[in-house]
A and B are shown apart, each in its own frame.
Chain A
Amino acid sequence: MNPGFLIDALVTVVGVTTPILLAATGELVVEKSGVLNLGIEGMMLIGAVTGFAVTFNTGPALGDLAPWAGVLAAALAGVASSMLFGVLVLTLGSNQVATGLALAIFGIGLSSLIGAGYVGMIVPSFDSLFPDRLAGDPLWRVVFGYSPLVYFALLMVFAVGWFLNRTRAGLILRAVGENDLSAHSIGYSVIAIRYAAIAFGGALAGIAGAYFSMVITPMWAEQMTAGRGWIALALVVFSGWRAGRLLGGAYFFGVLMTLELYAKASGFSFLPSQFWAAMPYIAAVVALAVISAREVAGTEAPACLGRPFLPNS
């Protein structure tokens, strides 16, 4: 096996993994603050269609910068849709599971509506951050040959790990997720902190969506994220709410999926095909089971996860 072959495979793995990693990193922060947002799939789709539409429409004016405007817009669209969720669950105290599912369905519908006029269009993708000499080098492309969003995703997972474990603000956010009443009684605004966490999760979900419509396949197709939001959700649970394991888990998934493709193309298969078709749903069911059976398996889950904050009742 020559190194070129391995590098090719690794590039595929990175492409498969990045959007899941981005969305899961955002959701990790949300859940650490004690909020369960099941609407990742919907936020991703809204981000995907917004990123595509803005890139498409600003292309003539902005040229090479248009994809950056698109990603920014995708992040903002993710924030906007997450705020809808935020108002419902934080200010109005609605059920987080039901509201999150509603957000997922709403996102699918809204993105299809917005995207109807963009079907069949294409947009240019990002220019490489690095000179062609590095990005196109047969060997060095393994480090330099990716879309800027790939580096952003890695940066974010390390930043979130550092933020949660090494900073005072991260400690406060975790305190809100572990014991909202105590955090409230010593003067922290539980609601404000959770709003901020939900907005961050929305931004990363939006960018994850943009990765589909602007990097993997620069086009818009309805429901193009095809269930990745649910896998991201499951990944947060499987990681035990830790950034390091989240990174490992996301790449484990990416490697597994790529290996399967290589195995099939080479004439054998090590897992039944139905397993792959059922994967997103199995992952979501297991994740929800783990969350709801906290006392059995999910002791690592934030203690207030999914509970509304009602200080006066």
Chain B
Amino acid sequence: MNMISRRNLIKAGAAGLALPALARSGFAAQPLKVGFVYLGAIGDYGWTWSHEQGRKALDAALKGKVATNYVENVKEDASAIPVMKDLAQAGNKLIFTTSYGYMDQTIEVAKQFPDVKWEHCTGYKRADNVGTYNSRFYQGRAVTGVIAGHMSKSGVIGYVGSFKIPEVVMGVNAFTLAAQAVNPKITTKLVMIDTWFDPAKEAAAAETLANLGCDVIAQHVDSPAVLQVCEKRKIYGFGYGADMSRFAPHAHLTASLDLWGPYYISRAKAVLGGTWKPDDTWWGMKEGILAMAPYSKAVPQNVRAAADKIIAGTKAGTYEVFTGPIADQSGKERVPKGQRMADKDLLVMDWYVKGVQS
């Protein structure tokens, strides 16, 4: 396993020193070389960390058959292109680009390396050798929403988000709808902090929400800062992407866990078996790439039962949080009673449900 990071390259003093070594290892490679492009640092304890766990799971499951390597801290701009080219030139035949902002760069580089299979996470552009994959994160939001609906005494719950993009909007809406199913009077105060990672700002946003009366705060940002504020303020919160209970043993009620391993293993197997196709995959709890962390002691039995019911229903396909009637913030009905929102509508969702204050 090659551990290549931009930072290590900088430390070595010259990328030129490292690259020939990388290329040499490509010639000798017998196993399938699988590359990963990471947005953050593998130590971010969130998004990149969960992909890194997926890579390790792939390593363990197909030991000897695959050789994986990754590049971390790759920005979502043109500088991602040389990183992807380097990975392809180093002999990686399957490359996962694990953030939305790599979409155009992946398509562009994939054209130049037609014999490499590319997999872009959370995007929507595909090509003959580019597939996309995503997780139904909102299913986990629905579980935490039900718990929040039960646990909130003030009826005001908070949400620290990053940007108003469909993935975040879906989460806010699923969380709010599930909480309102428990307590129709619930309102969600939403603060977008315009970045994925800034612990000090995440903390300030959580403090602000707590000051405004929120007693349960969910988060869609990359650090556990929000949970640490919840712990200090003696209110509740949830981990996202990973179990973050160590940061907030009292406040942390549960977390949705991203388990990319099963997907990465299935795709590597498909390449090894020659059956790989550029699919658009949107898995969730049913397929095992999304799960919940254990409930904390603070979650009472009846709330656990309610949350378990949502999980079981989601896995069985009998529960879908985006089932009408759903009204937007202005009160206009967007989804009629009994109807489920189509995937294509979910993927472009840019409106908040009634009860979200943003």
Interface residues of A (CB under 8 A from B): 5, 8-9, 11-12, 15-16, 19, 105, 108-109, 112-113, 115-116, 119-120, 122, 212, 216-219, 221-228, 257-258, 261-262, 264-267, 273-274, 276-277
Contact = CB atoms under 8 A, between A and B. Distances in A.
Q: For chain A, what secondary structure do more than half of its interface residues adopt (helix, strand, loop), or is it mixed?
A: helix
Interface stretch (B17-25, B79-87, B208-216): B208-216
Nearest to B249: A122
Contacts of A228: 200
Contact of A109 (B7, B189, B193, B228): B7
15 contacts: A109-B10, A112-B7, A113-B11, A216-B203, A217-B200, A217-B223, A219-B224, A222-B44, A227-B198, A258-B208, A262-B212, A265-B209, A265-B357, A266-B212, A274-B194
Contact of B199 (A224, A267, A273): A224
A116 B41 CA distance: 10
A261 B201 CA distance: 9
Contacts of A216: 199-200, 203, 225
A219 B247 contact: yes
Given A16-B204, A109-B10, A221-B44, A226 B198 contact: yes
Contact of B197 (A218, A223, A262): A223
Interface string B158-195: 10000110000000000000000000000001111111
Interface centre among B203, B205, B211, by most chain A C-beta atoms within 10 angstroms, is: B211
B247 A122 contact: yes
Contacts of B207: 8, 11-12, 15
B10 A105 contact: yes
B114 interface: no
Given A5-B211, A265-B190, A277-B195, A258 B204 contact: yes
Given A212-B199, A222-B41, A265 B223 contact: no
Contact of B11 (A109, A120, A257): A109
Contacts of A122: 246-247
Nearest to A9: B211
Contacts of B197: 221, 223, 226
A11 B233 CA distance: 13
A15 B11 contact: no
B43 A265 contact: no
Ordered nearest first, which 10 A-B pairs have the shortest CB separation?
Answer: A119-B43, A226-B198, A8-B211, A222-B41, A261-B208, A277-B194, A273-B194, A217-B225, A264-B191, A217-B199
B112 interface: no
A262 B189 CA distance: 10
Given A224-B223, A273-B192, A261 B199 contact: no
A219 B198 CA distance: 13
Nearest to B41: A222
A159 B214 CA distance: 40
Count class of interface residues, chain B: 35 or more
B358 interface: yes
Nearest to A122: B247
Contacts, number: 119
Contacts of B44: 221-222
Contacts of A116: 43
B45 interface: yes
Given A221-B223, A225-B200, A265-B189, 14 more contacts: A8-B211, A12-B208, A15-B200, A216-B199, A216-B203, A219-B199, A221-B199, A222-B43, A226-B201, A227-B198, A257-B204, A261-B205, A261-B208, A276-B193
Nearest to A8: B211
A230 to B, nearest CB: 13
A261 B207 CA distance: 10
A109 B208 CA distance: 32
A277 B196 CA distance: 10
A223 B200 CA distance: 11
A262 B208 contact: yes
A302 B198 CA distance: 33
Contacts of B209: 265
A228 B203 CA distance: 15
Nearest to B159: A265
Given A219-B247, A267-B358, A226 B200 contact: yes
A196 to B, nearest CB: 30
A115 B44 CA distance: 11
B45 A120 contact: yes
A226 B43 contact: no
Contacts of A120: 45, 246
Contacts of A108: 7
Contact of A217 (B164, B190, B203, B208): B203
Interface in B223-240: 223-225, 228
A163 B10 CA distance: 40
Contacts of A225: 200
Contacts of B164: 273
A296 B192 CA distance: 38
B146 to A, nearest CB: 23
A221 to B, nearest CB: 5
Given A5-B211, A216-B199, A261 B10 contact: no
Contacts of B190: 264-265
A264 B189 CA distance: 8
A8 B209 CA distance: 11
Contacts of A223: 41, 197
Contact of B200 (A19, A119, A266): A19
A120 B45 CA distance: 7
